[in-house]
Structure 1
């Protein structure tokens, strides 16, 4: 049988170049304290031997791991995968994070964590111990979880927190949820709608409250009642229940804003079951703008969230902290956009002037 080729290690590179292991490690990590001619010599050996740097080699001498860990909600992510519905949030997060990491010689690794698990500390410590990341990107609801935040702070790890303004360690990145919810509501008001319902997201997500606040504020500015509010959890079933309540009201909704695409599609399905036409009888606006609403019939007007851009900024903030321990990363908000499609239209009932 043919002999298995021996893997090339950092020791082989050091021997071939005639330098120390520490020098090879410094070159691999692009550290500045290596003479140019020495660095060129080591790179020549790496190329000639076909050496691929290992994480262990990159960590020699206490250097950075060059890994950034992104944590996402386990239950919702796995549910999307198992139902073959996709997880556009994860896709966009990887798009922004991986490309930015790669351009700086870093790697992005995704881990799924259950916020409600009794073993969250053990689970998270296991991942941190195995990977030793230089920074962690937290998405909702992890970005506001005190247990996770305290654990990471004790480990001295840079923390980027998406979708949370709760006081705590790390720096925050948001997507203008309150403002865009108000803009979506105002779009419907401008179309003449006065009975505009709102389906909230899961209560353990900070951004769910921001969106509700934006809707209420826009309704108040127009002098409209904000009584058509239903609690959802981002899932399809909760959207069905909420839509049924709003459309069975004595004074039913003529337009509904749902805090997720799943709940928006559920609203569309329930409206059809009632013989209602969208948008002739009911206008619908969604949050997230994943493929399921773009290819719905009709395609749904939706809030498009800049997840890739926010993750890019999260990576850049972590890298800035790696370069300078004393740097302060300011909170940043990247505004979302309202993408208009065929699911919103003028209210066909009695004319309504919100300014009257």
Structure 2
């Protein structure tokens, strides 16, 4: 399996915020010389910038006009770890481009904001919108924003009319992970499906099934989840009640994979000696449990930053006769950790 390269990155706005003990938005205000920051806080931020050697990308910021660029960010996702990475990526890119973010959070479990809340967001003077999954495929959200004529960028979405879509190849990623499980000797596979209203869920299931069809003798059992930890608990229990139970479980995100590991521990099953578990996303959740998860690395921060960069370019575009490319696919990676092992025949 491929592993993360471990390439050294330069300091980011998040590092500066942590050093100064403030929020990324406060750092952004200081960098862009905006009001609303006290002198002591401003000094602390500037000292952190100097200490870390942080340098904002002035060239990228110059792409923004002198008029304040307000970008709406509409988000709601059952995975807190995913949302943390997503918002970090958006904040970092916004600081580079001198953009002001107007955040609108939907309801629990990925529910969209109300129409009234969306109208208020539009009325705030935003010039474009970033949509976090699953809201990039929400009819309520898309209708309200399309009616307003605002440029949109949707992360993790597929073929959304009037929106730039930034994602990975979910089907290929799931196929590659499933092939890894099969190569370890596993022939009874469990799969936990994500939110049925998200295209990425169907793509990941399709990739899983593509790999299974290539190998005779592989049996599968599938349980429905919704990308939340709680749904993963119920789905894992359902899979492990099957006859025969799977020797490996592939969950459609890390939160549900972590839930599967929890269920295995409760049943006194050793992971990975008696049950292999893999996930998808490579969020912080993948490395904060034992054993750390083998997972698909989806560059969530980079996806969010790319979406904001593309949206900014769309807003600045002056030639409507040459439409920008609408689908942008970034690379994924399989990251091997300690939650996988060859099938034990003992």
Compute the TM-score of the two structures, normalised by the length of structure 2.
0.75
Q: Secondary structure at the match of 1:264?
A: helix
CA 275–127 in structure 1, closer or farther in 2 if over 3 Å, else same: same
The match for 1:347 is 343
Q: Is contact 1:113-1:124 (8 Å) kept?
A: no
Between 1:89-98 and 1:121-130, the stretch displaced more is 89-98
Offset at residue 64 of structure 1 (A)? 4.7
Offset at residue 224 of structure 1 (A)? 4.4
The match for 1:281 is 274
Q: Is contact 1:98-1:107 (8 Å) kept?
A: no
Unaligned stretches of 5+ residues in structure 1: 1-50, 55-61, 81-86, 351-356
Match of 1:127 among 100, 115, 121: 121
Q: Is contact 2:187-2:219 (8 Å) kept?
A: no
Q: Is contact 2:164-2:311 (8 Å) kept?
A: no
Q: Spell out, residue by residue over 1:100-145, the C-alpha distance to the aligned partner (whole angstroms, 9 max, x if none).
A: 222222123322023646x721110012212x11110112221112
Residue-pair matches, total: 281
Give me the CA root mean square deviation.
2.3
The structure with the largest alpha-carbon Rg is 1
Offset at residue 185 of structure 1 (A)? 0.5
The match for 2:159 is 166
Offset at residue 66 of structure 1 (A)? 0.4
Q: Spell out, residue by residue over 1:288-347, the C-alpha distance to the aligned partner (whole angstroms, 9 max, x if none).
A: 223233021111111221111111211111111122142523211112222110100000
The 1-side partners of 2:118 and 2:66 are apart by 22
Unaligned stretches of 5+ residues in structure 2: 1-32, 37-64
Q: Secondary structure at the match of 2:250?
A: strand
Between 1:323-332 and 1:200-209, the stretch displaced more is 323-332
The 1-side partners of 2:284 and 2:89 are apart by 18
1:305 aligns with 2:298: yes
The match for 1:59 is none
The 2-side partners of 1:197 and 1:52 are apart by 52
Offset at residue 266 of structure 1 (A)? 1.7
Q: Spell out, residue by residue over 1:218-256, the C-alpha distance to the aligned partner (whole angstroms, 9 max, x if none).
A: 111123445311101122232222222222222110000
Match of 1:152 among 145, 153, 177: 145
Match of 1:70 among 70, 73, 84: 73
Greater relative contact order, per chain length (Cα 8 Å cut-off, separation 6+): 2
The match for 2:27 is none
1:329 aligns with 2:324: yes
1:208 aligns with 2:166: no
